[in-house]
A and B are shown apart, each in its own frame.
Chain A
Amino acid sequence: MIRYLTRRLVQMVLLFLVFLTVTWFLLYILPGDSVALKYAGNPNIPPEAREVALERLGLDKPVLIQFRDYMFNFFQGDLGVSFNQYPRPVVDIIGERLPRTLVLFLTALVTYYWAGFVAGKFLAWRRGNRGEMAVTIGGVGLYSMFLPFFAFMLIWFFSVQLGWLPISKFLDPEQWRDAPFAANEVFMRLFWVTLLTAIAMFMASLAAHRTRGRMLERILRWGGGALVIAAFLFYWFGTEAGQGMRIYAGDIAFHMILPVLTLTLINFAGVMLLTRSSMLETLREDFILTARAKGLPEGMIRDRHAARTALLPVATSLVLAVATVIDGGVITEAVFSWPGMGEILISSVLSEDIPLAVGAFAFIGVLALIGHFVVDVLYGLLDPRIRVTEHG
């Protein structure tokens, strides 16, 4: 496993270098002089000022030198400065935007994988009952829906007609006028608190899965869950730090509901159908017959034996999900005016803010690679047959 992962890491770094090089050249070279023209092409500025402007933007040197410098700086954590928001460093901008994208999409990803897996599991288990047809047709219908269209439909329904949810954006500026916090600070707090809660929840359910006592399992699953939620609420309502930030954090969370809902509804059916077929296949395996013969309770056969094993191909599909998240991300962020990476990507390319664009692409590349790596590790953890073999 370790050897395999090391090899994968080396591959990833090499792949990333190639990706970065290609991206850099595509973005710096293709538009040719248009960038220089845009930022220093005004015929009314004196030639000296023009020289200075180009030099500041780093556009005066030969292309290969520029490339060498860029790569050199990149690995020292310096991605240059944005042309448009000069002289704000690209790293700063990305540092602000990246968590917003990550939070939105990870939340959606976890939600729709979880919903899809549970739905698929029950569809396969209670095969042939009435609900099955409805859920399947509904799911496939949603799955084949065009994302922006569906998003606008939801916005129209929930925000315009019912007025329950905000139309778009990340927060409500009215409410934040005299806020004692910067949006990013609140957001990061929200992020960490929620992440810790999720991890604690996961651990509780994992512990419950591992135990064999029915009573103990219930206590861990429900008691542990309740305890974690209580701790989460206590943080926001009981502690001073939490109380101050609560309304602002709530506002951000409120703005996340609709995008997460859209992504979940559109994507869960894919996971559901995959889980269903994987589960049906697993149910035909001999070890399920063994589990029955052993007199295990039905719930245990379903969850511990069938669903756990049916999870393997579903985990593999996460690799594809990483890709979907990235391309769907640009559209979703645009539709909901969510100020994340997708939005930077579009605006920086359109406005020819080259350093920002390269930086954004580079980070999206890194994300995709990390996503793949995480899925590999996860798969190794889920399937003991992979865990011990050297070569995957």
Chain B
Amino acid sequence: MTADRLPVEVSGGRAPLLEVSGLVLRYDTEVGEVSAVENVSFSLGRAEAMGLVGESGCGKTSVALSLLRLAPDNARYRSGSILWEGVDLLGLSDQQMRLYRWAEISMVFQGAMNAWNPVYRVGEQIREAMYQHFDPPLSKPETNQRLDDLFRLVGLDPAVQNRYPHELSGGMRQRAVIAMALSCEPKLIIADEPTTALDVIVQAQILEELKEIQEDLGLSILYISHDMAVIAQVTDTIGVMYAGKLVEFGPTREVFRRPRHPYSFLLLSSIPSVTGPRRRPVSLEGTPPNLLAPPAGCRFHPRCPWATEQCRNDEPPMMQIGPSQWAACWNAEQVPEMGDQLP
């Protein structure tokens, strides 16, 4: 079975909110085409939290931006579709797409420290989004009330909305960004490395609160991180990306318990685990490939300790392994056991 339309089953038969199939996105550059997202498919149900992990530069942000159709000017969508409640976002006009942004899908950007325009007050910047998307428009008192509520929800004093961004600490800015992302009652929030720039304590608090808000409001959320440990605590399903490709997808528990792709396996074995089965730590060597000229066959083969002749020549499709787990590896069935047979 190929990657097309695969993981509908993962969301347990519920009609998915978002269904990405065979997405291919490349960046035009002077030195050639960067293959940043290659045939990526996944789906996300209502009120579901999904994680997307992978090393820096593997295309996580590119996937996220595609969902809002905000990829940089030199990005080209070569094929695939992004179905949002059955509507293909890639087929919409700019004007139609504008109505989906923030009202349906909002985003907490990577490095949200700079997400604020320095010359306007924080509250004003949230107001302008609300002004665009509520139909019929909220009255002034309603808007104010909603702003106050949002600030309380993310653990900020409502008075903060009258401050300028530079007057807030990093943690406050990040909380305010979350308030902004929630402002237009979206169904999905994309959180791209929402906490990497913060210190560990604040990071944990914010993640926890975000998780609570998500569950209370029944939102879907797409967490993006390079940190498996972070993702583990807050997601239901997880997708692992390597060099522009989705290499494993499945329920977070399953993937953590029994990773089916060598890359996931190596990523996981590099985090110390207290509860999981004891494994010998194996290190992940080498660096990710240059996406201008990705390796033939499996993109991971140059770094894979178990690579075979087949891996070097043929590209493995996404294959169903467990009841709801998928992996793109020729040797997926043997993966965790192979870890114990390493020299």
User: Chain A residues in contact with chain B, CB under 8 A?
Assistant: 212, 285-287, 289-297, 300, 304-305, 308-309, 312, 382-385, 388
> Within the complex, which residue of A286, A294, A305 is in contact with B111, where a contact is CB–CB below 8 Å?
A286
Q: Give 24 A-B contacts (CB < 8 Å), ordered by A residue.
A: A286-B111, A286-B114, A287-B115, A287-B116, A289-B109, A290-B109, A290-B115, A290-B116, A294-B129, A294-B132, A295-B99, A295-B100, A295-B103, A295-B132, A295-B133, A296-B129, A296-B132, A300-B128, A383-B118, A383-B119, A384-B119, A384-B164, A385-B164, A388-B167
Are the C-beta atoms of B131 and A212 separated by less than 8 Å? Answer: yes
Are the C-beta atoms of B98 and A297 separated by less than 8 Å? Answer: yes
Q: A295-B98, A308-B119 are in contact. List 11 more A-B contacts (CB 8 A).
A: A286-B111, A287-B115, A287-B116, A289-B70, A290-B109, A291-B117, A292-B101, A293-B109, A383-B119, A388-B164, A388-B167
User: Residue B107 at the A interface, CB < 8 A?
Assistant: yes
Q: A294 CA to B99 CA in the complex, in Å?
A: 9
By beta carbon, the residue of chain A nearest B115 is A290
Q: Please indicate the chain A residues that have their CB under 8 angstroms from the CB of B103 in the complex.
A: 295
Q: Please indicate the chain B residues that have their CB under 8 angstroms from the CB of A291 in the complex.
A: 117
Q: Please indicate the chain B residues that have their CB under 8 angstroms from the CB of A287 in the complex.
A: 114-118
Chain B nearest Cβ from A191, distance in angstroms: 33
By beta carbon, the residue of chain A nearest B68 is A293
Chain A nearest Cβ from B257, distance in angstroms: 36
Q: Please indicate the chain A residues that have their CB under 8 angstroms from the CB of B106 in the complex.
A: 293-294
Going nearest first, the 6 A-B pairs with the smallest beta carbon separation are A295-B101, A286-B114, A294-B129, A287-B117, A384-B164, A290-B115
- Say yes or no: A293-B101 contact (C-beta < 8 A), given A287-B117, A383-B119, A385-B118: yes
Q: A78 CA to B127 CA in the complex, in Å?
A: 56
Are the C-beta atoms of B119 and A382 separated by less than 8 Å? Answer: yes
Q: Please indicate the chain B residues that have their CB under 8 angstroms from the CB of A309 in the complex.
A: 117-119
Q: Please indicate the chain B residues that have their CB under 8 angstroms from the CB of A304 in the complex.
A: 128
Chain B nearest Cβ from A292, distance in angstroms: 6
Q: A295 CA to B69 CA in the complex, in Å?
A: 11
By beta carbon, the residue of chain A nearest B117 is A287
By beta carbon, the residue of chain B nearest A285 is B114
Interface residues of B in 54-79 (CB under 8 A from A): 68, 70
Q: Please indicate the chain A residues that have their CB under 8 angstroms from the CB of B223 in the complex.
A: none
Q: Please indicate the chain B residues that have their CB under 8 angstroms from the CB of A305 in the complex.
A: 117
User: Residue B312 at the A interface, CB < 8 A?
Assistant: no
Chain A nearest Cβ from B115, distance in angstroms: 5
By beta carbon, the residue of chain B nearest A382 is B119
Are the C-beta atoms of B119 and A295 separated by less than 8 Å? Answer: no
> Within the complex, which residue of A294, A312, A384 is in contact with B102, where a contact is CB–CB below 8 Å?
A294
Interface residues of B in 79-119 (CB under 8 A from A): 98-103, 106-107, 109, 111-112, 114-119
Q: Please indicate the chain B residues that have their CB under 8 angstroms from the CB of A312 in the complex.
A: 119
Chain B nearest Cβ from A383, distance in angstroms: 7
Are the C-beta atoms of B119 and A296 separated by less than 8 Å? Answer: no
Chain B nearest Cβ from A306, distance in angstroms: 9
Chain A nearest Cβ from B259, distance in angstroms: 33
By beta carbon, the residue of chain A nearest B137 is A213
User: Residue B166 at the A interface, CB < 8 A?
Assistant: yes
Interface residues of B in 253-311 (CB under 8 A from A): none
Q: Please indicate the chain A residues that have their CB under 8 angstroms from the CB of B164 in the complex.
A: 384-385, 388
Q: A384 CA to B168 CA in the complex, in Å?
A: 13
Q: Please indicate the chain A residues that have their CB under 8 angstroms from the CB of B167 in the complex.
A: 388
By beta carbon, the residue of chain B nearest A127 is B73
Query: Which one of A295, A382, A384, A385 has the highest number of Cβ atoms from chain B below 10 Å of its Cβ?
Result: A295
Are the C-beta atoms of A384 and B109 separated by less than 8 Å? Answer: no
Interface residues of B in 233-252 (CB under 8 A from A): none
By beta carbon, the residue of chain A nearest B101 is A295
Are the C-beta atoms of A294 and B101 separated by less than 8 Å? Answer: yes
By beta carbon, the residue of chain B nearest A212 is B131
Q: A209 CA to B119 CA in the complex, in Å?
A: 14
Q: Please indicate the chain A residues that have their CB under 8 angstroms from the CB of B115 in the complex.
A: 286-287, 289-290
Q: A295 CA to B70 CA in the complex, in Å?
A: 10
Q: Please indicate the chain B residues that have their CB under 8 angstroms from the CB of A285 in the complex.
A: 114
Chain B nearest Cβ from A117, distance in angstroms: 16
Are the C-beta atoms of B128 and A212 separated by less than 8 Å? Answer: yes
By beta carbon, the residue of chain A nearest B103 is A295
Q: A355 CA to B102 CA in the complex, in Å?
A: 68
Q: Please indicate the chain B residues that have their CB under 8 angstroms from the CB of A212 in the complex.
A: 127-128, 131
Q: A291 CA to B114 CA in the complex, in Å?
A: 12
Q: A294 CA to B115 CA in the complex, in Å?
A: 11
By beta carbon, the residue of chain B nearest A308 is B119
Q: Please indicate the chain A residues that have their CB under 8 angstroms from the CB of B131 in the complex.
A: 212
Contact with A along B216-245 (1 / 0, CB 8 A): 000000000000000000000000000000
Q: A289 CA to B101 CA in the complex, in Å?
A: 12
Q: Please indicate the chain A residues that have their CB under 8 angstroms from the CB of B116 in the complex.
A: 287, 290
Q: Please indicate the chain A residues that have their CB under 8 angstroms from the CB of B180 in the complex.
A: 290, 294
Q: Please indicate the chain A residues that have their CB under 8 angstroms from the CB of B68 in the complex.
A: 293
Chain A nearest Cβ from B39, distance in angstroms: 25
Q: A291 CA to B98 CA in the complex, in Å?
A: 11
Q: A308 CA to B128 CA in the complex, in Å?
A: 15
Q: A312 CA to B117 CA in the complex, in Å?
A: 13
Are the C-beta atoms of B166 and A385 separated by less than 8 Å? Answer: yes
Q: Please indicate the chain A residues that have their CB under 8 angstroms from the CB of B132 in the complex.
A: 294-297
Q: Please indicate the chain A residues that have their CB under 8 angstroms from the CB of B98 in the complex.
A: 295, 297
- Say yes or no: A384-B101 contact (C-beta < 8 A), given A295-B132, A295-B133: no
Q: A290 CA to B177 CA in the complex, in Å?
A: 10
Q: Please indicate the chain B residues that have their CB under 8 angstroms from the CB of A286 in the complex.
A: 109, 111-112, 114-115
Q: A308 CA to B70 CA in the complex, in Å?
A: 22
Query: Which one of A212, A297, A300 has the highest number of Cβ atoms from chain B below 10 Å of its Cβ?
Result: A212
By beta carbon, the residue of chain A nearest B99 is A295
Are the C-beta atoms of A294 and B166 separated by less than 8 Å? Answer: no
Are the C-beta atoms of B118 and A293 separated by less than 8 Å? Answer: no
Q: A101 CA to B291 CA in the complex, in Å?
A: 62
Q: Please indicate the chain B residues that have their CB under 8 angstroms from the CB of A293 in the complex.
A: 68, 70, 101-102, 106-107, 109
Q: A118 CA to B25 CA in the complex, in Å?
A: 35
By beta carbon, the residue of chain A nearest B129 is A294
> Within the complex, which residue of A292, A382, A383, A385 is in contact with B70, where a contact is CB–CB below 8 Å?
A292
Query: Which one of A287, A297, A382 has the highest number of Cβ atoms from chain B below 10 Å of its Cβ?
Result: A287
> Within the complex, which residue of A294, A382, A384, A388 is in contact with B128, where a contact is CB–CB below 8 Å?
A294
